[in-house]
Structure 1
Amino acid sequence: MNNSCNILLVTAHRPSKTAGPVETVSGSDAIILDNSSNFLIKYVFFVKKLFTKFYQSDYDVIVVNGMNLIGLISVLVGQITSTPVIVRIGGNIWLRSRERMNQYWNERSPLRLMKYILRFVISRVVQSTVAGFITVSGDLRQKTIKNTNISDSCVKVVRTPVQQDLYASEYLSGSLPCIEANKTFLLTVSNFKFPAKYEGVVKILDDVVPLLKEREDLVYVIAGGGRYLPALEQYVEKINTDNIRLLGYVENIKEIYACGDIFVYVSYNDGYPNVMLEAAAAGLPRIANTACGLPEQVEDGVDGILVDSDWEEGALREVVESLVNDPERASKMGGSAKKRVLTNNNKQKIGRDFHNTVEEILENC
């Protein structure tokens, strides 16, 4: 590979997913915004860092993670320094913006509504001036082409890496609510900041609750925080079973994966969910629906099972029960899932893919 392309990556979100891989290839660097700082101070230092980087080194391209204010600043600096800008997108930001604007309109929250309208305008400015886009899945690539009207040759896919050593831990502390002897643990980890992910867990519950009531040896563990967590807590309270453990936000998430036996994930708004990579790195068989980028993460019947997003009642329960009743098959699928992410989602490979893709966009766009 030709490593002559020097990339300056800008990110304020999950730097391990972007900055880590990029920095594995020589000649590239990253600026990571400090989100703990005061808003004004954060962006003043960001602008200073950007110009300092260009003063110290020559960069061929700026890759910015997102199309918010850091995207706009990166585009302006790119124009001043005659440096092309590529935007990396990790989720369906267009759907997310519409959901938030509708939410704040219905809540009669004008200040929050104006904030998202401003974000929407900024994103339109950014997407009209950049050289291209990098997305995390083929599904998101198609959504990006549709929402930006950019040439499809200027939108490429680079997967996200997984921190393999973090989620492949084999030990348990014994202190978690999900540690019980002679139980099979069905696990979901999600971010209940988003309504489509809350709706996904509700749909899982609707289908597997009858199974949970029938089998005392099966426990459903749900981990994750966010603004829709209270609604989920209320939903679970109405279910007459003791076999659901709703943990909320968990700091040491690797132990949750370590105590799981089967991972199930249903979502209707995702790019390339990190939790699916994490579950695979922990060696769990994965059950997922066919929406968004999820089918790109599972080889159906080999390292997991895909269920149609509009499944008929009982279809998900049937799949879950089949793996519960066949632990040998479940274990084999989990091993295949782990092998898949160790091969395809390690930091070094993603770093090489990232550089190759940036060079391809610069050559063609």
Structure 2
Amino acid sequence: MRPVRLCAVSATLAAISLVAVSGCAEKADAGGEGAIKVTATDDSCEVSKKKFPAGHVQLAVENKGSKVNEVYILYPDGRIVTERENIGAGTKAKVTAEIKAGEYEIACKPGMKGHGIRQKVEATGGGKTAERDPKLDAAVAAYRDYTLQQAEQTLPKAKKFAEAVKAGDLDKAKKLYAPSRIGWERTEPVAESFGDIDPKVDLREDGLEDGQDPKKDWTGWHRLEKSLWKTEKITAADKKLADKLIKDLTDWKDRVGKAEITPTSMANGAKELLDEVATGKVTGEEERYSHTDLVDFKANVEGAQKSYSLLEPVAKKNDAALVKELDKQFSALNKLLDKYREDDGEDKDDYSFKSYDKVGKSERKELSDAVNALAEPLSKLAAAVAK
């Protein structure tokens, strides 16, 4: 789960150079004829249009505040249509989404916390969906199958992890922790789209809202990670949390096949996974106790590449140069990650990587640069498939 991330980074993180992915220095023109302009500040969220035609919609976001911001298009029940996080102060971003006719909310979240400042909007058009290439419908169907497959493969691994926790077997639980997260990390944007599951399963302690009690309100993998690696003690409360983790992951598995998925949400989700890498994995903040960040890193990249590969036939027809660049950058990043493997690489669902606390500053900078080089063209994928 992505944490709150301020663009006033420390000197150490500045050296890692996350700017291109995080949005802390994204200077792309967020204009465009017909775009809905969203102007975000520290205490407001102004939208240029409250009604617009259903179909392919582009938000032209500008953060005029002093805090990092994020912008969402939400269903009335709080589910996420699409999002763009880590929009730095004074920067702009484009977000392309496919939206059916109906009522929605556009939300800005200054500081990337809380309920957000929301504006009610309406997509008009009698419930029609945007016309699209049949190849994109096939891509959506294949991606839906992939997300369900990942959930179905994750649950047995998570159960083994939970059983080790409940048995008080510290060493076994540590060994099973990272593999239990791979399927989740590959498809996290879909899980996040439900709104309620991700905070239960993948929240870090620094992601708690003001007023929340870590002892009562913090659940999921990272709560158990802290017990396993920092305190190195499994308590009765941890055993109950292991049961809750399985309950919440079962809920995820049961719901993932019904998620709202469009070609643009697949493309935006791929970009979100790269943001995950930049704001949590490269920095070492995600797995701060276990230092298994590179396992998550690889899973995020695999998930992004899966979305891209399914969309690639249409993207290539619309923007061959973009596809050529994406192929190049995915290959370069995967080659770089493979340098840190500690297995034979044959079983992608059981790989292991070098402990991230053993990865030096210069190596982290190299990884960050490779992520940035991929993230920039990947941010253009949604627009390419929406042409």
TM surpasses 0.5 = no
Larger Rg: 1
Provide the TM-score with structure 2 as the length reference: 0.29
